[in-house]
Amino acid sequence: MNNDVKAFFDENGIKEWNRLDENAYSRISYLLHLHFIKEHLKPGMKILDAGCGTGRFSIDFAKIGCKVTLLDISQEQLKIAKDKIDEAEVNHNIEGIYHADLIDKTDFADDYFDAIVCYGAPLSYILEKRDDVIREFNRILKSKGNLFVSVNNKWGIFKMLIGRQMTDFFSEPEYWFIDRVIESGDLPKHEKVNHPARHFFEAKELRSLFENNGFEPVKFGGSPCISCGNQMSIEEISKNKEALKTIINIELASYTKDTMVDNGEFLLAMGEKR
């Protein structure tokens, strides 16, 4: 088990639940993540929420009528998820809650789930074992089943940091491993960053990861896309409901375009099991 990742999310606690509702920018990202997947979900479908965190998306799936299984590396995150599931009164659609690392082979049967959702960038923390994880997802998905992921986006993260006007960050590229991220996408553990080591993806790399492990890539998205790097502006614009509605409509029209998917803070991808 990756103890650095486990410790990070145990410590993050309720912050992970609040993360997608703390400001207008975050709510746009949450909306796009749901929009990307919602048309593919139907009542009765068996869904694995892999790296479920505090269960925010699991609850959304359960409200649709899906039969949801939650899995996460953090016991603290799962404790919060159980409480939130109780509050939402969707226990009848929860099939199981498992404390496990994605890099471990699961006990789930072959061809069991209709869809697997791996949102919130768990794959970005897996590093060299991500092929193993995708192959395991393939094993437990039904034929033609869908895999949905969101990962940290290499180019979107720079857009976001420029928007925060982080002069000190960009003035010390060696110290912050900027060149290494540009070249390989890999960000080692850093003394001034709480996150464990991570990998930042490009769409073409994620496409290859799917193709090499039994999935046909279907669609990609960037989330948030147009808004990435403009968090302060979005907060100001959101004071006007009609203006915010317009921004959301622009996001929905643009976030899955081929020319835009590498622009989001998160990179979304859907693959179908071959």
Please report which confidence band the pLDDT of residue 90 belongs to, taking 50, 70 and 90 as the band edges.
very high
| Domain regions of the chain by residue span | 3-273
For the chain, give the mean pLDDT. 95
- In whole angstroms, what is the distance from residue 133 CA to residue 147 CA? 12
Residues 39-47: contacts with CB under 8 Å, at least 24 apart: 40/115, 40/146, 40/148, 40/270, 41/66, 41/115, 42/66, 45/114, 45/115, 46/95, 46/112, 46/113, 46/114, 46/115, 47/113, 47/114, 47/115, 47/116, 47/117
What is the per-residue pLDDT for 30? 97
Is domain 3-273 annotated with CATH 3.30.9.10? no
Q: Give pTM, 2 decimals.
A: 0.96
- In whole angstroms, what is the distance from residue 141 CA to residue 130 CA? 17
Please report which confidence band the pLDDT of residue 82 belongs to, taking 50, 70 and 90 as the band edges.
very high
SS (H, E, C) 83-144: HHHHHHCCHHHEEEEEECCCCCCCCCCCCCEEEEEECCCHHHHCHHHHHHHHHHHHHHEEEE
Within 10 Å of residue 68's Cβ, how many Cβ atoms?
28
The model's pLDDT over 95-134, given as tens digits with 9 standing for 90+, comes to: 999 999 999 888 899 999 999 999 999 999 998 899 999 9
Please report which confidence band the pLDDT of residue 33 belongs to, taking 50, 70 and 90 as the band edges.
very high
The model's pLDDT over 182-228, given as tens digits with 9 standing for 90+, comes to: 999 999 999 888 899 999 999 999 999 999 999 999 999 999 999 99
Per the DSSP assignment, residues forming a β-bridge with 94 are 68
- Torsion angle in degrees (nearest 10) through CA of 208, 212, 216, 221: -30
What is the per-residue pLDDT for 2? 81
- In whole angstroms, what is the distance from residue 181 CA to residue 185 CA? 4
What is the per-residue pLDDT for 192? 86
The model's pLDDT over 221-262, given as tens digits with 9 standing for 90+, comes to: 999 999 999 999 999 999 999 999 999 999 999 999 999 999
DSSP 8-state class, residue 153: B
Could you give the C-alpha distances from 232 to 6, 23, 97, 155, 229, in angstroms and in order? 31, 10, 37, 19, 8
Inter-axis angle of helices 241-254 and 24-38, nearest 10: 40
What is the per-residue pLDDT for 1? 57
What is the per-residue pLDDT for 105? 81
- In whole angstroms, what is the distance from residue 20 CA to residue 65 CA? 22
What is the per-residue pLDDT for 106? 85
The model's pLDDT over 144-185, given as tens digits with 9 standing for 90+, comes to: 999 999 999 999 999 999 998 999 999 999 999 999 999 999
- Torsion angle in degrees (nearest 10) through CA of 190, 193, 195, 196: 10
